[in-house]
């Protein structure tokens, strides 16, 4: 659709906003030049749009009732069958609703995307189908994936599968719950701050945030290209390794995939941990919101690896305690830009841009008034900081993330893996709306201190269940060297067998 030519009054107002005072005072000449330049946008349609992602027609689907889906794990249920054979043959796959599946509705937890149906599959969906999986639906996630709880999705809260009225963790909330209820065999999650690992911890499943770029992010709603990750969620470590085997590798599109190294995740899975050096990261314990019982269970699970021949010792990385602040400086401004200005997508990369999704977000931008409290807060802070200091803080934080990365790398020269609690506590009660915005916001971020650092240093991190506290799962996080997921799986398998 052609861009409407501007009036002098529109150009005067725009010039004044930018600070071009002379044009604001006399806009007529520039109005004419701008009107002439708009023809270049009409010429875009003369270029064929390359079909780089797989598509399909509309898929028959249902919205499950509360009786059919009492935890609200699912946005829609469907059946898209993959290849007749393959490494995932017979697997019922749930797909987080921030991930494009052609022909199925996608709302990414929001009001803005209600009614949107993508015309293409994300690369990870194409790979899973080619390996024999059957997509059985889209799982519920938090509003624009911006919460670590499970209370902000526009369609309602997601209940913990072990205790109704408690959070299942987020933002890949439904992807975790569907595994516990048995409605899916494997699920896909996305992780910008811990959104695979936090629900894995609180719901009691296995979740991997792979090394940055190992699994292509093509065709997935983004928050910021610096820390976008997508990965497998499963009931067992072996299933996780099998799923990663299918997902890993370059797709030739995603610019995040630079110098990646795909490993063999299955052959050495049962090789054990004899001789491996396990570092218990001291700064990952006893912080804000920590439960002593969680710390004790995680330490006991790590110490038990001695009996299997591992070398277990404490290690200190003092910068770990400051890392969430560094993540926040990147995330706040990056997410504000993505959500408020960029139609749900980042710019400046030779990426695949889902134009249909971006158009839908632009057409429904008035729904911003209905953003939940945490989204409103994060985007307001981001825009305020931008007004005060521009992008300097984002830039400084990205630069200093290299210092943080080097600190973990130094520890990982002494140890094969590092261990922390995934979340410093077990699942919390869902916030009471009557308690206001502060309670809702706190319930979105209180669990993320140990997960956010590795989104900005890009190390792989695996959450595995390691026990229960008062009937709720406890998650143990294993962090490794870049592209060393095979070792994470070995350690995770040993934890699983304790």
Question: Residue 377: CB partners within 8 Å, gap ≥ 6?
Answer: 437, 441
Report the 3 state secondary structure along the chain. CCCCCCCHHHHHHHHHHHCCHHHHHCCHHHHHHHHHHCHHHHHHHHCCCCCCCCCCCCCCEECCCCCCCCCCCEEEEEEEECCCCCCCCCCEEEEECCECCCCCCCCCCCCCCCCCCCCCCCHHHHHHHHCCCEEEEEECCCHHHCCCCCCCCCCCCCEECCEEEEECCCCCHHHHHHHHHCCCCEEEEEECCCCCHHHHHHHCCEEEECCCCCCCCCCECCCCCCCCEEEEEECCHHHHHHHHHHHCCCCCCCCCCCCCCCCCCCCCCCCCCCCCEEEEEHHHCCCCCCCHHHHHHHHHHHHHHHHHCCEEEEECCHHHHCHHHHHHHHHHHHHHHHHHCCCCCCCCCCCCCCHHHHHHHHHCHHHHHHCCHHHHHHHHHHHHHHHHHCCHHHHHHHHHHHHHHHHHHHHHHHCCEEEEECCCCCCCECCCHHHHHHHHHHHHHCCCCCCCHHHHHCCCEEEEEEEEECCEEEEEEEEECCCCHHHHHHHHHHHHHC
**Among the options 168, 171, 444, 463, which is catalytic?**
171
Residue 343 backbone class (left: φ over 0; alpha: ψ -120 to 50; beta: rest): left
**Among the options 96, 138, 173, 209, which is catalytic?**
96
448 is catalytic: no
Q: How far apart are CA 260 and CA 257, in angstroms?
A: 6
Q: With both helix axes pointing from N to C terminus, report the angle between 323-340 and 392-414 in degrees, rounded to the nearest 10.
A: 140
396 is catalytic: no
316 is catalytic: no
What CA dihedral angle connects 89, 90, 92 and 98, to 10 degrees? 20
**Among the options 150, 168, 195, 463, which is catalytic?**
195
* Residues belonging to the active site: 96, 171, 195
């Amino acid at each position: 659709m052609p861009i409407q030519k501007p009036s002098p009054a529109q150009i005067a107002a725009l010039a004044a906003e930018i600070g071009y005072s002379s044009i604001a005072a006399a806009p007529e000449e520039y109005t004419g030049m701008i009107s002439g330049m708009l023809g270049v946008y009409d010429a875009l349609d003369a270029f064929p749009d390359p079909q780089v992602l797989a598509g399909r027609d509309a898929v028959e689907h249902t919205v499950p009732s509360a009786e059919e889906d009492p935890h609200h794990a699912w946005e829609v249920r469907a059946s898209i069958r993959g290849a007749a054979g393959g490494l995932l043959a017979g697997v019922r796959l749930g797909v987080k609703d921030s991930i494009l599946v052609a022909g199925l509705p996608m709302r990414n937890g929001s009001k803005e995307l209600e009614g949107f149906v993508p015309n293409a599959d994300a690369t990870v969906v194409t790979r899973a189908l080619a390996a024999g999986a059957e997509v059985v639906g889209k799982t519920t996630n938090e509003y624009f994936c911006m919460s670590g709880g499970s209370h902000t999705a526009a369609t309602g809260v997601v209940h913990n599968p072990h205790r109704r009225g408690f959070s299942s963790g987020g933002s890949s909330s439904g992807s975790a719950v569907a595994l516990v209820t048995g409605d899916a065999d494997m699920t896909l999650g996305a992780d910008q701050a811990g959104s695979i690992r936090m629900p894995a911890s609180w719901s009691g499943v296995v979740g991997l945030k792979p090394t940055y770029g190992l699994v292509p992010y093509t065709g997935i709603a983004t928050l910021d290209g610096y820390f976008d990750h997508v990965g497998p969620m499963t009931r067992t470590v072996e299933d996780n390794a099998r799923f990663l085997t299918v997902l890993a590798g370059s797709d030739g599109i995603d610019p995040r995939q630079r110098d990646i190294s795909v490993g063999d995740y299955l052959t050495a899975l049962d090789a054990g941990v004899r001789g491996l050096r396990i570092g218990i990261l001291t700064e990952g314990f006893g912080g804000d919101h920590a439960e002593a019982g969680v710390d004790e269970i995680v330490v006991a699970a790590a110490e038990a690896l001695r009996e299997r021949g591992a070398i277990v010792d404490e290690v200190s990385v003092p910068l770990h305690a400051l890392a969430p602040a560094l993540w926040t400086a990147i995330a706040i401004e990056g997410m504000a830009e993505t959500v408020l200005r960029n139609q749900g997508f980042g710019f400046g990369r030779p990426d695949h841009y889902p134009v249909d999704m971006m158009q839908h977000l632009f057409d429904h931008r008035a729904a911003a008034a209905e953003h939940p409290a945490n989204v409103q807060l994060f985007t307001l802070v981001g825009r305020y900081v931008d007004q005060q200091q521009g992008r300097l803080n984002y830039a400084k934080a990205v630069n200093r993330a290299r210092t943080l990365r080097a600190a973990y790398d130094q520890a990982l020269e002494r140890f094969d893996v590092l261990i922390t609690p995934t979340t410093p506590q077990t699942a919390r009660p869902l916030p009471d709306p009557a308690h206001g915005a502060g309670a809702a916001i706190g319930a979105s971020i209180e669990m993320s201190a140990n997960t956010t650092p590795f989104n900005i240093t890009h190390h792989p991190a695996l959450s595995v269940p390691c026990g229960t506290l008062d009937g709720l799962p406890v998650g143990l996080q294993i962090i490794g060297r870049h592209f060393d997921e095979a070792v994470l799986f070995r350690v995770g398998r040993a934890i699983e067998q304790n």
